[in-house]
Amino acid sequence: KTYDVAIVGATGAVGEAMIEILEQRDFPVGELYLLASERSAGKRISFRDKQIAVQDLANFDFSKVQIGLFSAGGSISEEYAPIAAEAGCVVIDNTSHFRRDHEIPLVVPEVNPHAAVDFHARGIIANPNCSTIQMLVALKPLHDAVGITRINVATYQAVSGTGKSAIEELAGQTARLLNGQPAESKVYPRQIAFNALPQIDSFQENGYTREEMKMVWETQKIFEDDSIAVNPTCVRVPVFHGHSEAVHIETRDKLSAVEARQLLESAPGVTVIDEREDGGYATPVTDGAGNDAVFVSRIREDISHERGLDLWVVSDNLRKGAALNSVQIAELLLRDQLIT
Residue 288 contacts ligand A2P per CB under 6 A: no
Cα separation, 56 vs 287, in Å, equals 36
Q: Reduce the secondary structure of the chain to three states and give it as a string.
A: CCEEEEEECCCCHHHHHHHHHHHHCCCCEEEEEEEECHHHCCCEEEECCEEEECEEHHHCCHHHCCEEEECCCHHHHHHHHHHHHHCCCEEEECCCCCCCCCCCCECCCCCCHHHHHHHHHCCEEECCCHHHHHHHHHHHHHHHHHCEEEEEEEEEECHHHHCHHHHHHHHHHHHHHHCCCCCCCCCCCCCCCCCCECCCCCECCCCCEHHHHHHHHHHHHHCCCCCCEEEEEEEECCCCCCEEEEEEEEECCCCCHHHHHHHHHCCCCEEECECCCCCCECCHHHHHCCCCCEEEEEEEECCCCCCEEEEEEEECCCHHHHHHHHHHHHHHHHHCCCCC
- Residue selected from 2, 30, 31, 39 as contacting ligand A2P according to rule CB under 6 A: 39
Residue 13 contacts ligand A2P per CB under 6 A: yes
How many alpha carbons lie under 13 Å from residue 317 in its C-beta half-sphere? 25
Residue 76 contacts ligand A2P per CB under 6 A: yes
Residue 57 contacts ligand A2P per CB under 6 A: yes
Q: Which residue's CB atom is positioned nearest to ligand A2P? A: 12
Name the minimum Å distance from CB 71 to ligand A2P.
7
Name the minimum Å distance from CB 12 to ligand A2P.
2
Name the minimum Å distance from CB 321 to ligand A2P.
13
Name the minimum Å distance from CB 7 to ligand A2P.
9
Q: Which one, 155 or 162, has the nearer CB to ligand A2P?
A: 162
User: What are the catalytic residues?
Assistant: 130, 243
Name the minimum Å distance from CB 188 to ligand A2P.
14
Q: Which one, 76 or 135, has the nearer CB to ligand A2P?
A: 76
| C-alpha distance from residue 139 to each of 53, 166, 257, 299 (Å) | 41, 29, 13, 12
87 in Cβ contact with 324 (< 8 Å):
no
- Residue selected from 6, 32, 65, 72 as contacting ligand A2P according to rule CB under 6 A: 72
Q: Which one, 73 or 147, has the nearer CB to ligand A2P?
A: 73
- Residue selected from 3, 5, 11, 60 as contacting ligand A2P according to rule CB under 6 A: 11
Residue 73 contacts ligand A2P per CB under 6 A: yes
Q: Which one, 93 or 274, has the nearer CB to ligand A2P?
A: 93
Residue 9 contacts ligand A2P per CB under 6 A: yes
Q: What is the x/- site pattern for ligand A2P, positions 136-165, by CB under 6 A?
A: ---------------------------xxx
Name the minimum Å distance from CB 56 to ligand A2P.
7
Partner residues linked to 51 by β-bridges: 46
Judged by CB under 6 A, the chain residues 170 through 199 that form the site for ligand A2P are none
How many residues touch ligand A2P (CB under 6 A)? 17
Residue 322 contacts ligand A2P per CB under 6 A: no
Residue 15 contacts ligand A2P per CB under 6 A: yes
Give me the residues that bind ligand A2P (CB under 6 A), please: 9-13, 15, 36-37, 39-40, 57, 72-73, 76, 163-165
